[in-house]
Each structure stands twice: as structure tokens, then as C-alpha cells.
Amino acid sequence: MTQPTAALPGGGAMPLLGFGTWQITGTDCTDAVRAALEAGYRHLDTATMYRNETEVGRGLADSGVARDEVFVTTKLPPERADAAQATLDASLAALGVDTVDLWLVHWSTGGDDVALWREFVAARDAGRARDIGVSNFSLAQLDELTDATGVTPAVNQVRWAPSLFDAEVLEGHRQRGVVLEGYSPFKSTDLADPVLAGIADAHGVTAAQVVLRWHLDHGVVVIPKSATPERIRANADVLGFALTDDERARVDGLASR
């Protein structure tokens, strides 16, 4: 099945379905990345603070999948704001790549985010990151970066799930041309909820697969994580069905409960 993607300013196509690697380390991480790529994922998400970039890179190299077929994201922790370029150097070396497809500010520094954003723009202009973005930023914080530099983050990665659905936040990102990317899709979700269970039964899938498909149908990137091959394959198997408008609205409604 063709992977749905979001177009980014740098010309890249970001798969809406990605593989998250938070809290997966060592050989478990390498094995999980290989399993994810074998299952059809073409988007890997890591971060400096995850301490697994080497393992992610090894899994990619060992997979046999060509580098240019896989979208790779990493992130800079705010405490490394004064060494942004050196941190990116370390990330590229650990991942075994010349450039990342997306480099994110992991969360606000709580201080001069604009100065750090200028470092990100410089890295993009130098070809070390094809696109740049942020994580855990508000709409107002996005606007601050745009107003100060003229460069809008390509992506904002935030916690997102049916129970956290906010139509104004979703539309605010669309109006700004910022791709919304959600993490922890299941942590804030009751997978036994009757709404999800009923929709899952109607499609012959699991409630978890409904949640992932809900993200895709809204055009939101989602990065489920698992170290279990069976779960990895199940999470990847969401391209063969779609929610109806009514089903999507019912899942949206879980946020108002």
C-alpha cells in the first residue's frame, strides 16, 4: 500500500506513519528498527536524549533498505542549545548519515528560542538537515519563531490522541503550514472504549489500529513505538482501511467526554 505523506518545505515527503524509538535501547532498538523497516515503515524517529541514535543507525544500515527511502528524524534537547551544531555532528555520526530529513528542537528552552532557531536555520541552509521543526511548542511559540526569522517550523511534534483532540490546534497548524506530528498515541487512550471497539469491529481491526488510522485520516503524523515484532507489524498494518466521516467524528468526540 502507498504510504500517505506530508510535503515539507525542503522538498521531502514525510510519511504520516512513523516508528518511534523512545525508551528502546541497545540491541532491542536495533532489532526493532530492522523489524519496523521490514514491516514497511519508512520513517524513523529518534532524539539525542533517547541515547539510541547509534542503534537506530545500525538498524537502518543492517536493514538493506536504501537510505534515501527512509525519513529520519532526530531532536536536540534544550540543554544543548549552546552546542547545537556539535550536537548535530554527533547525531549524524551516530546515525551514520550525512544529513537528517528532519531536525527538531525537542522542547522550548524557556529562554531565547529564537537564537536556537537561527542555529537550526543555519544547519538547514548548510544541508545538514533537510527540514527543521520543533516539538512541544504552542501556536504562539511557533509564531514567535516565524515573526523573528521569517522561517516557520516545518513540523511541530506534540502529544496527541483522541482524548487530546483539539480542532482549533489542528486548524491552527494547517493555517500556518506546519505539519502536526503526534506522539504517545496510546498513553492517553482507553483502547477498551466502546466507540473505538465498535469502529474496530466494523473494520475487522484492533482499537489501536483505529487510533493510528484516525491520525492518518486527519493528516497528522503518528509515531507508535514497540519492541515486539508482532505489535510492530500490527501498527504498520493500517493502510488497508479508512474511517468514514462519521467514525472520525465519533473518535474526535472522545476529547469532550
Residue 41 is among the residues annotated as catalytic for this protein: no
DSSP lists the bridge partners of residue 102 as 73, 131
Q: In whole angstroms, what is the distance from residue 123 CA to residue 18 CA?
A: 23
Exactly one of 14, 31, 47, 50 is catalytic; name it: 50
**Rounded alpha-carbon distances, angstroms, from residue 11 to 36, 129, 156:** 24, 12, 17
The DSSP secondary structure of 110-176, one letter per residue, reads SS-HHHHHHHHHHHHHTTSEEEEEEES--HHHHHHHHHHHS---SEEEEE--GGG--HHHHHHHHHH
Find all residues with CB under 8 Å of 51, minimum gap 6, and list them: 25
Q: How far apart are CA 242 and CA 250, in angstroms?
A: 14
Has 106 been labeled as part of a binding site? yes
Per the CB < 8 A criterion, the answer to whether 49 and 109 are in contact is: no
Q: Cα-atom radius of gyration of the chain, to the nearest Å?
A: 18
Q: How far is CA 137 from CA 59, 140, 145, 159, in A?
A: 30, 8, 10, 10
Cα gap 135→225, rounded to integer Å: 17
Could you tell me which residues are annotated as the binding site?
106
Binding-site sequence positions for substrate? 106
| Residues with catalytic function | 50
